[in-house]
Amino acid sequence: MITTNQSEDFELLNKLRTGNRPAFSAIFLKYHSGLVRYGKSLLSNTNHEADDVVQEVFLKFWSQRNNLIIHSSLSAFLFTALKNKVKDIYREKHLPLYDPTEMQFNEETSVAQSPDNILIFKELNYSIEEMINLLPTKTQLIFRMNREDNLTYDEIASLLNLTRNSVKTHMFRAIKFLKEHYGHYKSQL
């Protein structure tokens, strides 16, 4: 099944292969922030390392533009490239090989769960962005990977070493939370 987003990426890739820089810029701007976010979740130190690694991924992506073989989607390709690059870094630094099952997620409880807080942010009319930030870290990352980076459940599952079902559960929790506390209020305005 080909989706609209995939065919848009397909067009961009075709242009990229002919050395079209605007197509490169478009791809960059489309996926950069999502990649940086994912990179930060993989690298424990929060300074600019993630930014640098993402730059390297894009630089290689540009220089290899004639030899790109993409089996899945463009977004999955870029995210997987980043994951591999991060693994390389761990290897170079002789750090224990990165084990994604031990990803440094914060505790699973979140501010959003307390009823007091729900009341408070309802009254304050939080923006959707602020509402998303209230989700547990892992749920937030998965939700954004799906909504903003257009990755499928299967792709997210393999990037984060989770099962497809657990990705779906995180997505459901996020959607339900936002629907009830944000969508319900907004759609009545």
29 binds other proteins (CB under 8 A): yes
Contacts of 14-20 with CB under 8 Å at 24 or more apart are 16/65, 16/68, 17/65, 17/66, 17/68, 19/65
Q: Does position 51 bind other proteins by CB under 8 A?
A: yes
Site residue total, other proteins (CB under 8 A): 47
SS3 at position 53: helix
Query: Which of the ranges 17-25, 88-96, 100-108, 116-124 carries the binding residues for other proteins, by CB under 8 A?
Result: 17-25
Site residues for other proteins, window 97-126 (CB under 8 A)? 125
Cβ partners under 8 Å of residue 75, min gap 6: 9, 31, 34, 149, 150, 151, 155
Single-letter code of the amino acid located at 55 = Q
Cβ atoms of 107 and 66 within 8 Å: the answer is no
Concatenating the DSSP letter of every residue in 120-133 gives: HHHHHT--HHHHHH
Give the Cα separation of 79 and 58 in Å (integer). Answer: 11
CA atoms within 13 A of residue 83's CA, in its CB half-sphere = 16
Q: Which of 50, 54, 82, 160 binds other proteins (CB under 8 A)?
A: 54
| Closest CA relative to residue 27, chosen from 12, 17, 15 | 12
Q: Does 168 bind other proteins (CB under 8 A)?
A: yes
Q: Which residue has the tokens 């990977």?
A: 145
Stretch that binds other proteins, among 82-90, 93-101, 104-112, 171-179 (CB under 8 A): 171-179
Tokens of 187: 């759609």
Residues 129-158 that bind other proteins (CB under 8 A): 129, 131, 146-148, 150, 152
Piece of the chain touching other proteins by CB under 8 A; list 76-84, 96-104, 105-113, 181-189: 181-189
Q: Does 178 bind other proteins (CB under 8 A)?
A: yes
Selected binder of other proteins within 10, 28, 90, 98 (CB under 8 A): 28
Binding site for other proteins (CB under 8 A): 1, 3-5, 11, 19, 21-22, 25-26, 28-29, 32-33, 36, 51, 54-55, 58-59, 62-63, 125, 127-129, 131, 146-148, 150, 152, 168-169, 171-172, 175-176, 178-180, 182-184, 186-187, 189
